[in-house]
Amino acid sequence: MSIPRRFYLPLGLGFLFFFVLPLLVPATVKLLQSGADKAEELGDVAASAVYQGEDGSLRMLRVMKHSTAQDDVFVLLDNDLQAKQLLGEPQRIVLPRAQLRQPARLRSEANGQLSLLLNDRHWWLRAPAQTAFAPMDAALRQRFAAELGTGVSKYAFGELREPGLLDVTSNTGDRYALYWASGELYPWAERLPRWQQRPWAQYPQTASRIDYADFDTDVAQYGMPMILLQFAQKVRPGEFERWPRLSVHSSADKQVRAAPKRYQPVSDGFVVSRQALREAGITQIATVASVPVQFSGEVLARNAGRVLMRYDETPTTAAEVVLQIVDARSLQVVWRKSTREMPQLLFDGEHLAAQAWPGGFYLSTGLNLPALVIDNEGQTLVDFQPQKRLEAASED
């Protein structure tokens, strides 16, 4: 008997435990057994990430979580995806139970480190050569004693446009922008002005970027049209990165016609603010000709050579969501596929998330379920088949 689509999400919640140990061979389960020869409860997948080991192997880190009356218990499982075996002893972290259920959060840093936020109140960091995460709360209070000596009440990761940012709120209620790798801590309100006021002319290097920009025009538009831009941005080694959110105007707009010298053309009939370019340290800009105007476009993840994006196929209807990979150097689309052709993403990709690794991208779907690992050409390397787990659950 078939199950209506509207029941997939509740069924998925009820049977999430089906993914607890799908990658482990029976012998590795013994690593989790207690002295009483009873396997420790693992709970649900709270977060996961794919990364490359120092030997080039493709690995997956999963954060499993279950709670007792007093504690939240996190068990960190590290797997070799090719060998399908557990790597080393699982790391176990026990914290006082949070009053509100908070998801664990994982992020791969530019220097190869892995950052982990637990209950939004504890920060852990793992270096590439290490096998365990180290707590960072005490080190943070010591490094920035004047601002954070009283402790931290909340952590959050910055968005994709600010890859090294950690949003930190102290126990006194003060909010800061933390860039641990560069050793910088600013009051939150100073974050944007400090970036805009950088002495860009003194920066010796530039980096090539591609990103979506919004249309902000007087011309009527349907949906949320986006245009893909290529630009060169000034950089200085060691400083934190921040990518601008640019807006594209029509050359026929009233504000553009009133002061045309304030705008720079990016394509036939469209311009961007010169002030916005100066504040972001952008020296060159143009549209990516190989990618037409798309709707509700969003960059999901980036690595050194590729950018993974999603967009809506049409402007006005809830049609299919499309994924595409663009080469960061040639600016050509190397792969494009509708989420309706990818049943692993569940719910037509509605709850899709992605992370980059040097050789490609890791896609996860609703309920934190791992879905796919694809390479930089879009080819599937690992299929976790979450849709089959839901189908099997619905048949029981």
Q: What pLDDT, on the 0 to 100 scale, is given for residue 39?
A: 53
Q: State the pLDDT at residue 110.
A: 78
Q: Are 93 and 63 in contact (CB under 8 A)?
A: no
Q: What is the pLDDT of residue 128?
A: 85
User: Residue 13: what are its φ and ψ, rounded to 5°?
Assistant: -60, -40
Gap between the Cα atoms of 116 and 283, Å rounded:
36
CA distance 63 to 116: 9
Query: Is this structure's pTM higher than 0.85?
Result: no
Which residues face 267 on adjacent strands?
270
Task: Dump pLDDT digits (tens) for 20-42.
Answer: 334 433 333 333 333 333 456 78
What is the chain's mean pLDDT, rounded? 85
**Contacts with 253 (C-beta within 8 Å, 6 or more apart), sequence order:** 217, 218, 219
Is it the case that residue 205 has pLDDT exceeding 80? yes
In tens, the pLDDT along 218-263 reads: 765 555 688 999 999 999 988 888 899 999 999 989 999 999 999 9
373 close to 386: Cβ distance less than 8 angstroms: no
Rg (CA), the chain: 23
- Edge-to-edge strand list for the sheet holding 122-126: 105-108, 114-118, 122-126, 134-135
Give the span between the Cα atoms of 287 and 390, in whole angstroms: 42
